[in-house]
Amino acid sequence: MRLSIEHLSKTFVSASGETVEALKDINLEITDKEFICLLGPSGCGKTTLLRIIGGLDQATSGAALLDGHPVTGPDPKTAMIFQEYSLYPWRTVLDNVTFGLEIRGADKEKRSEKARSYLEMVGLQDFERSFPYELSGGMRQRVAVARALAVEPDVLLMDEPFGALDAQTRNRMQKELLEIWEKTRKTVIFVTHSVDEAVYMSDRIVVLTRRPGTIREVMDVSIPRPRDRTSTEFARIRRHVLDLMDEPV
C-alpha cells in the first residue's frame, strides 16, 4: 500500500458565503504499515484531511492517491473510526462488528466467524451479545476498532478516537491499539490534538500549522516501543513538537 497526497488544498464556503481555506498545498508520502499521527491546533484541517483520504470529502485542488489511483469516494481499502464510536445502538456487539461484512455481501457464517476473531483480538469475546449501552466508553471504542478491522482494510483512519475517554482509559487504549497494530500491521493515520499521544504512538508525526493547514514539519519518532513517557528522549521530542506548534506561521 502506498498513499500519496499531492498539492492538496481544500476551501469551504460558509453558510454566510465566506470563503474559508482549510488546507493549503499538502504534500505527504505514507508507506505500508506506518503509524502516522496528524497533529495540530483545533481548526487546522486535520479531520478534513482524514476525510479526504477516506473519500468522505473532496479536495478543492490536488489529490490523495491510494496505490496510484485518485481517491474519489469511500474505498474498501480504507476504514474510518470516529471519536463518537458510531455504533448502532439496536445491534449487539457481534452484529455491529459484522455490519461492514454484511453490506459487502459476506456469508453470514463467515462474517460471524471473522467478527468473533477480531472481538477476541480486542478482548471482547465475552460481550458479543451485549448492546453498546451496556459497555464502557473504552469497550465501545474497541468494538469500533474490531468492526473496522473486520473488513480487512489496508489503511485505518482514526479521528481522535480516544478524545472522549478519561486519561487512564485513554492511556490503556493507546497501549492496546499499538498491540493490535503490531499484530495486524495495518497502515494507521491517527488524528490527535495531544502531543503526548502522538509521541507515544507514532512512527512519524505530521505537524500542521494553524488554518489554513500546511505541513510545518514531518518528524520521525525513533524511540523503541514500548515507550517510556518519563524518558529524556520522550521529553525532548515532546518539547520540540510543542515548540513547533507555538511558533507563529
- 215 φ, ψ (degrees, to nearest 5): -80, 115
CB 37 within 8 A of CB 187: no
User: Which residue, 84, 85, 81, 53, is CA-closest to 69?
Assistant: 53
- Average of per-residue pLDDT values in the chain: 93
Full-model pTM: 0.94
Amino acid residing at 155: V
Residue 248 pLDDT > 80: no
CB 210 within 8 A of CB 5: no
Strand bridging mode 155-159 / 78-81:
parallel
Instruction: Sketch out the chain's domains with CATH numbers.
Output: 2-77+155-246 (3.40.50.300), 85-152 (no CATH)
**What does the alpha-carbon distance between residue 21 and residue 144 come to, in Å, rounded to a whole number?**
31
**What does the alpha-carbon distance between residue 174 and residue 162 come to, in Å, rounded to a whole number?**
8
pLDDT of residue 228: 96
**Which cell numbers hold the place of 73?**
469516494
CA distances from 110 to 22, 56, 148, 219 (A): 42, 28, 16, 41
Split at pLDDT 50, 70, 90, the class of 233 is very high
Task: Please return the burial class of 39, using the count of CB atoms within 10 Å of its CB with bins 0-12, 13-18 and 19+.
Answer: buried
Strand bridging mode 215-220 / 204-208:
antiparallel
Strand bridging mode 61-66 / 2-13:
antiparallel
Helix pair 137-150, 108-121: axis angle to 10 deg: 130
**Which cell numbers hold the place of 53?**
483520504
Read off the pLDDT of residues 98-135 as tens digits, 9 standing for 90 and up. Answer: 998 998 888 888 999 999 999 999 999 999 999 999 99
User: Which residue, 147, 145, 149, 146, is CA-closest to 162?
Assistant: 145
pLDDT of residue 5: 98
* Residue scoring higher pLDDT (86 or 66): 66
**Which cell numbers hold the place of 50?**
482524514
Percent of the chain with pLDDT over 70: 98
**What does the alpha-carbon distance between residue 90 and residue 31 come to, in Å, rounded to a whole number?**
38
